[in-house]
Amino acid sequence: MKHLLSIGDLSAADIHGLLELTDHMVEISQRPIPKVPALRGKNVVSLFFEDSTRTRTSFDTAAKRLSADTMNFAVSSSSVNKGESLRDTIETISAMGVDAFVVRHKSSGAPQLITQWTTASVINAGDGWHQHPTQALLDCYTIRTNLNRRDGFDGLRIAIVGDIKHSRVARSNVQAFTALGAHVTVVAPPTLLPPHVEDWPIELSHDLDAVLDALDVLYLLRVQRERMDDALLPSLREYSAMYGLTAARAAHLAPQSLVMHPGPMNRGVEMVVDPAELPGSVILDQVTNGVAVRMAVLFQLLGSGTDLRGEPA
């Protein structure tokens, strides 16, 4: 595996392998000094063409725990604002000696394009509406550990609720959850569904209340205010009433079921209850696991020839 661009490029066995590797990374992260020299001398460059504090910090933490050198390239301080093309930016930074680019871009497909212009590994940290593979992996890991599902998600019922059309998280997570055997229901108003959603390996619902009580995992997506501009929704108030997690809805969830959200949350919109009061909320676990999953991905792509105990083999 040279790049991580899309969950669609991974087999179920690949996903299981990364999740098992994540177990080791969790163990490292729990040590008094959570740091190993596995990627010492490797240069990991974060290229965030779109704002994201949590994903960038998570990757940065992951790289540092593996002793990689890290560099942050933020668009606001870069020559991109002076009109430099994506290709020139990549070729220029590559020429400094880079082992991996961690790329966040508002354009779907940008990380795939970048692979043409560098010999470094490219890790997709979210591209447009397309993919966010490490989010999907950390979500799988969170479900796997919290529901004790080390062998896969066969029979697990997961609902993803919200703006599916514009969501890279939805696209990656549907692929990852179904690859591991889960039964996924997508719950959204028709205007927030992608075109030809009938080709997706999911069940479709427009009625959250009808699916709630049978769920093992309720996965809420962020609904953005700008969706109102295109008449996709009448109002956030109406969305909240029809698709938000209210206390009344939370009461219908099965006791062991999980509530997840990729963040940042819109409280009062999709999340109408305080998640701290939901026994099934694993939203902070998702954040914690994000670091370990990203360590696993970095190690998988860059760590050949080293082992996790320490010195290069």
**Least distance between other proteins and beta carbon 149 (Å):** 26
Comparison of 149 and 227: residue with beta carbon closer to other proteins? 227
Comparison of 86 and 214: residue with beta carbon closer to other proteins? 86
* CB distance 212 to 253 below 8 Å: yes
* CB distance 281 to 259 below 8 Å: yes
Q: Which stretch binds other proteins (CB under 8 A): 13-21, 107-115, 263-271, 272-280?
A: 107-115
Cα separation of 246 and 270, whole Å?
A: 8
Phi–psi pair at 48, nearest 5 degrees? -110, 100
Does position 196 bind other proteins by CB under 8 A? yes
- What's the full length of the chain, in residues? 313
Near other proteins by CB under 8 A: residue from 56, 130, 149, 222: 130
Catalytic residues: 54-55, 82, 104, 132
Cα separation of 15 and 211, whole Å?
A: 27
Over the window 222 to 241, marking each residue x when it contacts other proteins by CB under 8 A and - when it does not, the resulting string is: --------x-----------
Comparison of 49 and 299: residue with beta carbon closer to other proteins? 49
DSSP state of 194: P
Residue 31, Cβ density class (10 Å: 0-12 exposed, 13-18 middle, ≥19 buried)? exposed
Near other proteins by CB under 8 A: residue from 87, 150, 225, 237: 87
Near other proteins by CB under 8 A: residue from 77, 81, 195, 235: 195
Strand, coil or helix: what is 299?
helix
Residue 18 corresponds to which tokens in the numbers above?
């990364």
List of residues contacting other proteins (CB under 8 A): 8, 85-87, 105, 107-110, 112-113, 127-131, 168, 171, 194-197, 199-200, 230
